[in-house]
Structure 1
Amino acid sequence: MIGRLHGTLLEKQAPFLLLDVGGVGYEVQAPMTTFYHLPELNQTATLYTHLAVSETAQQLFGFAKRSDRDLFRTLIKVNGVGPKMAVAILSGMDADDVARCVHDDNVSALVKVPGVGKKTAERLVIELRDKISPSGGRADLLNPAAAALTPSDAGEEAESALIALGYKPAEATRMVAAQSKANPAASAQELIRLALRKIAG
């Protein structure tokens, strides 16, 4: 089991990133809450990882914080929640937000995540209430840094990331366009964060 990676960040195109560890490139899928804390390319990063093995694929998921990986592992144990949905949940809200939704019975916030229906949201609230504390206990492990992109590049990257997270192309375009207009100098990560925050209300 690969539990932790420490190496040089070679590529980041949400939700995927490539980390060079001793000459081996690991392709890792990560939620946006991890991308917000990634350093610039060619700098050192540390990720806590989870290897998901199925009949058709082996996928490596990475997280900036051990607590986020722990929450991811808790989420995928819930009936009907797979790794892709867990990544979408952790992209739309951080560990603290998930904990608050669960302990406040806030089903409406959870159903705003792509792929999460009302029944799944209700199941999450019921099954997670006794498994996670009211506080997600977040602590930064990676230095935040925004990539130097032109506004158009940032918008395109943000749209691609939202589509990869499960939003429809037209919806992703609308979300990014609204945030780009209000924040013309925003990076791709900032546009994604603002768009998801708007959805979460």
Structure 2
Amino acid sequence: MIGRLTGTLLEKNPPQILIDCHGVGYEVDVPMSTFYNLPQAGAQVVLHTHMIVREDAHLLFGFGSLEERATFRQLIKISGVGARTALSILSGMSVADLAQAVTLQEAGRLVKVPGIGKKTAERLLLELKGKLGAELGHAAGHAAPDANSDILHALIALGYSDKEALAALKTLPAGVGVSEGIKLALKALAKG
């Protein structure tokens, strides 16, 4: 398997790029999030890759970060989600946004991605639950990651919108417990 490529970026034709690695040109499909961060043609580039071998093709997908590649690999494990759909999801939303949508079970955010219907979005949320949600703790950054989800769900169950709940979560001190976190978040929401 090809796990990483380091070489000279020769061509950029979204979503595909061509990388010269010591005289061998690799055609690599990348999500738009990676594509936008690529240097100009002629510059050195490093991509983490995932290779898919099929009967009719050998496909190489490249990612700017290990986090993106890991998420891509989680996505293609889901029944009905192929590599093109996974690439489309990563092009339409960041890994942090996807993790947040999964944690909050927001199918509406996934449906906005071209090619994702309501049923596929619901299947994605179900299959990814618990696999990507831990990243919300790092994205929100303050309370303990396992407490974040519980606090968010509690606030949403109390009738607050996802946006309000996330805003309140960001005001919490580091390492706060669930019950204390809920109390502090409710105080913050009452002031706002």
Runs of 4+ in structure 1 deviating by more than 2 angstroms, as ranges, are 133-138
Quote how far apart the aligned CAs of 1:94 are.
0.8
Question: Partners of 2:125 and 2:133 in 1: how far apart?
Answer: 12
Question: Partners of 1:76 and 1:16 in 2: how far apart?
Answer: 19
Quote how far apart the aligned CAs of 1:114 are.
1.7
Question: Partners of 1:19 and 1:118 in 2: how far apart?
Answer: 36
Tell me if the contact between 2:88 and 2:114 (Cα under 8 Å) persists in the aligned partners.
yes
Letter in 2 for 1:89: I
SS in 2 for 1:78: coil
How many residues align structurally? 138
1:3 aligns with 3
Question: Partners of 1:106 and 1:58 in 2: how far apart?
Answer: 34
Give the 5 Å matches for 1:103-114: 103-114=103-114
Alignment pair present for 1:91 and 2:91: yes
Give the 5 Å matches for 1:13-162: 13-135=13-135
Name the Cα RMSD after superposition. 1.3
- For residues 6-39 of structure 1, the C-alpha deviation after alignment (integer angstroms, 9 at most, x for no partner) is 0000000100000000110000000000011101
Question: Partners of 1:7 and 1:93 in 2: how far apart?
Answer: 27
- For residues 150-171 of structure 1, the C-alpha deviation after alignment (integer angstroms, 9 at most, x for no partner) is xxxxxxxxxxxxxxxxxxxxxx
- TM-score, structure 1 as length reference: 0.66
Say which structure is richer in helix: 2
Percent identity for Structure 1 against Structure 2: 52
Quote how far apart the aligned CAs of 1:62 are.
0.2
Provide structure 2 residue ranges, at least 5 long, that are not aligned to the other structure.
Answer: 140-192
Quote how far apart the aligned CAs of 1:132 are.
1.4
Quote how far apart the aligned CAs of 1:134 are.
4.0
SS in 2 for 1:88: helix
Tell me if the contact between 2:102 and 2:133 (Cα under 8 Å) persists in the aligned partners.
no
Question: Partners of 1:73 and 1:94 in 2: how far apart?
Answer: 15
- TM-score, structure 2 as length reference: 0.69
Larger Cα-atom Rg = 2
